[in-house]
Amino acid sequence: MDKALVIEKLNKILELELAGVVRYTHYALMVYGINRIPIVKWLEKQAEESLRHAREAGELITYLGGHPSLGIGPLLETYRHQIEDILKESLEHELKAFDEYKALLELVKDEEPRLEEWVRGKLQEELEHYDEVNKMLRKPGQVEAYH
């Protein structure tokens, strides 16, 4: 296992998850309308989960002897705050996270059981988020997947 490459990938994940904290917190603040409360609760839960993932990635970095990044992944204010737009941006974010975790899995697969198990769990969580957002983007009665 290339430890330096794994630490680099974990730092990228850490930054992406921290961006998720900021992104989901911002989204929660920008929700208006009759369905505000359940949507805000869901977005706040996503922010908390992103923070948990960031902390876990940071712990793994230090276990491996690395230094956790103080950076935050890309943040782009689109000024689109309709629920559908927020969900579309969330879907894009989840896909980026999935890709980063998948790339990390390739680095640790059959090399480091603890990291491999952790990454597989995160991949499952990211897929569940993707599926959840995908269903949220469907119109009532729409069976086929959004994306």
Percent of the chain with pLDDT over 90: 80
pLDDT digits (tens, 9 = 90+) for 91-144: 999 899 999 999 999 999 999 999 999 999 999 999 999 999 989 888 887 777
The residue length of the chain stands at 147
Query: Is the predicted pLDDT of residue 52 greater than 80, yes or no?
Result: yes
Specify the DSSP class assigned to residue 65.
T
Report residue 62's pLDDT band, with 50, 70 and 90 as the boundaries.
very high
Query: Is the predicted pLDDT of residue 47 greater than 80, yes or no?
Result: yes
pLDDT at 46: 95
Kindly state the tokens that stand for 67.
């230094």
Q: Residue 13 CB: number of other CB atoms within 10 A?
A: 26
Kindly state the tokens that stand for 119.
């990454």
Q: Residue 3 in contact with residue 37, Cβ under 8 Å? A: no
Percent of the chain with pLDDT over 70: 99
Q: Name the E strands within the chain.
A: none
Determine the 3-state secondary structure of 113 from DSSP.
helix
Angstrom distances, CA of residue 19 to CA of 33, 50, 56: 25, 8, 15
Q: Which residues make Cβ contacts (< 8 Å) with residue 55, sequence separation at least 6?
A: none
Average of pLDDT values for 44-49? 97
Q: Say how far residue 39 (Cα) sits from the centre of its chain.
A: 17
Q: Which domains does the chain have, with CATH numbers?
A: 3-136 (1.20.1260.10)
